[in-house]
Chain A
Amino acid sequence: MRTPQNTPADGKALLDVRGLTVDFPVAGGRGRTLRIVRELDLTVAPGERVALVGESGSGKSVTARALLRLDRHAVLGGRILFEGRDLVTLTERELRKVRGARIAMVLQDPQTTLNPVLSIGDQLAETLTIRGVPRKQALVRAREALDRLGVARAGERLRAYPHEFSGGMRQRVCLAMAIIGDPAVLIADEPTTALDVRVQQQVLELIDELAAESGMAVLLITHDLGVVAGYADRVAVMYAGRKIEGSGVEDFFATPRHPYAQGLLRSVPRVDRDVSTDLDLIPGTPPNPAEPPSGCAFHPRCDRWVERCLTEIPQLRVLEDEDRVVACHRARPEREEVVA
């Protein structure tokens, strides 16, 4: 396991997200906006595997998409520092040089991520041809990429169309598409949610191998804690658009500090526990981003809230003696050290 680094803004970060906010205009709301991601800090070191975890609606996918500014109507705030540049303020033209070449992304549903009217070869080669690589050479690299992902008869498959592939194969093609430009960071937005369990594992193993081979960093967006345990070095937990806990993966599973993180872990079925005991679910539902609760967004569902949780939004702070940040008033120790 690689060394976890937890201090945000630690200088060695490859991707350094600071105070990211994402607002969406409300349809027909006359300029009103909804804040989906709030003051998010996230760092990814070279070669590191970071998991971003949260329920549906926690803002994890929006965060991932914001990193490449995929939502045309989203308004970004804060900074996304990558290779000396701020992706938030980059021009469209400059951003296109980052997309695919430096930061690649794999999307959720491989059934729909491939263009039905283009052959696999054309789609794979495109990342390279738009950057001036001759078509022939690009196709050779496309074949190599498919080979690397264990697609049999790669040369023939280049001429095939997406509908001729199964779900798992398509996700391999999508992965090939992502790595063909040799990116420094791979963002995987729930890459296995749409696949069956066996294929899920194959795809995750593949991502892992590719990352290890090429030293590529991986930002894994998932709601599946099993995936986190197997394929991440560090974890960041999101709730209602905020990061509420961040730590190395072993610390996270051994001693989660935020009540929400603890709840998440308790609600996972475990083989070493009696199946007849009920799963310990977190009561209630995530808050509506249009009307977030006062203070800590989690307090209506928390079993340990105090007066202070109702009024004051907890800031991320480093816990003493631990390589970990938590945004909770009740997390020990009491000594506070607010992260700048």
Chain B
Amino acid sequence: MTTAALLRRPVLRLRRMPKLDRAAFAAVGLLLLTVAFGPLLAPYDPYHVDLGQAMLPPGAEHWLGTDSSGRDVLSRVLYGARPTILGSLCAVGLSAVIGVTIASLAALGPRWVDDAIMRICDIALSLPIMVMALGISVALGPSLRSAIIAMVLSWWPSFTRLARAEIRTTMTSTYVESAMITGVSRWRLMTRHVLPNSLDSVYVQVTLEIGGATLIMAGLSFIGAGAQPPSAEWGAMVESGSRFLTSAWWTAVVPGAVITLTALAFALAGDALRARTSGREVI
């Protein structure tokens, strides 16, 4: 199934979709809306400290309670969608772009270039992404930006591997050959004939990975290698809230639950998307 055909087909044929998939797509849509408009919806300033209002349980005034500094948890969660989800999107998106570019070089270049790139990928993929990202982020000096860079650096090889396999398959197809016969340049061959027919599985993989990326992003912030307190990043919120788990459980549980649901929603949506690309196997 090709992208064009896929796009022409109503992928999101909602009525015929299983309920779970529908819920997943709806959740993803909601999360993206939050990324876009969250700060407008937030009832309070997420950084306004008011110690007199500290650790209030969820109620009419503060729907999801306040944290140890008296900041409104709901507002912080709404603001936090940006660093966490947008950060993960950036990390995965950049990884995919870099990964596909390097895969194209591997496919076009001489055999030794291909071999070299693949060995680098093998080495990178033998290390757990979390561990690598943690090391790089700490080395760069913990911050949200470092976390994103670290994730990109440790993530691109998995996209390179996937894209290279797809590109190589497409390169052997007759229409690529017939484009070659018309005399197109290598660059044009790649961008117009090979890549548009190779990237379906990469798109699916991106969706699938965003959930995982959210977990890693939050994880990095939680252990202090990513976004730093007091920024309203979900992982950082869980970390600062975890100290008050017995006295004010909501300060940790709310952002924790949001992280879980986000990861779940993206994973399910990715899975649904994969099922919809006509059952083609995607690793």
Interface residues of A (CB under 8 A from B): 68, 70, 92, 96-101, 104-105, 107-109, 112-118, 123, 126-127, 130-131, 161, 163, 174, 177-178, 181
Contact = CB atoms under 8 A, between A and B. Distances in A.
B173 A100 contact: no
Nearest to B192: A118
A114 B185 contact: no
B178 A114 contact: yes
Nearest to B193: A115
A224 to B, nearest CB: 20
Contact of B5 (A68, A99, A108, A116): A116
Contacts of B183: 96-101, 127, 130-131
Nearest to B177: A70
Contacts of A115: 175-176, 178-179, 192-193, 196-197
B140 interface: no
14 contacts: A96-B183, A96-B185, A107-B174, A107-B181, A109-B174, A113-B175, A115-B175, A115-B179, A116-B197, A117-B2, A117-B5, A117-B196, A127-B183, A161-B4
Given A98-B183, A116-B2, A117-B2, 5 more contacts: A99-B180, A101-B183, A104-B181, A117-B196, A161-B4
Interface of B: 2-5, 173-186, 188, 192-193, 196-197
B182 A127 contact: yes
A181 B181 CA distance: 11
B243 to A, nearest CB: 54
Given A101-B183, A116-B5, A117-B3, A130 B188 contact: yes
A103 to B, nearest CB: 9
A22 to B, nearest CB: 16
B4 A116 contact: yes
Q: Nearest 8 pairs between A and B by C-beta?
A: A100-B182, A99-B183, A100-B183, A117-B4, A112-B174, A127-B182, A96-B183, A115-B175
Given A96-B184, A96-B185, A126-B184, A117 B179 contact: no
A178 B178 CA distance: 9
A105 B181 contact: yes
**SS of A interface (majority):** loop
A126 B175 contact: no
Nearest to A68: B181
B172 to A, nearest CB: 11
A177 B178 contact: yes
Contacts of B2: 116-117
Contact of A114 (B175, B180, B184): B175
B45 to A, nearest CB: 48
B199 to A, nearest CB: 10
A177 B177 contact: no
Contacts of A98: 183
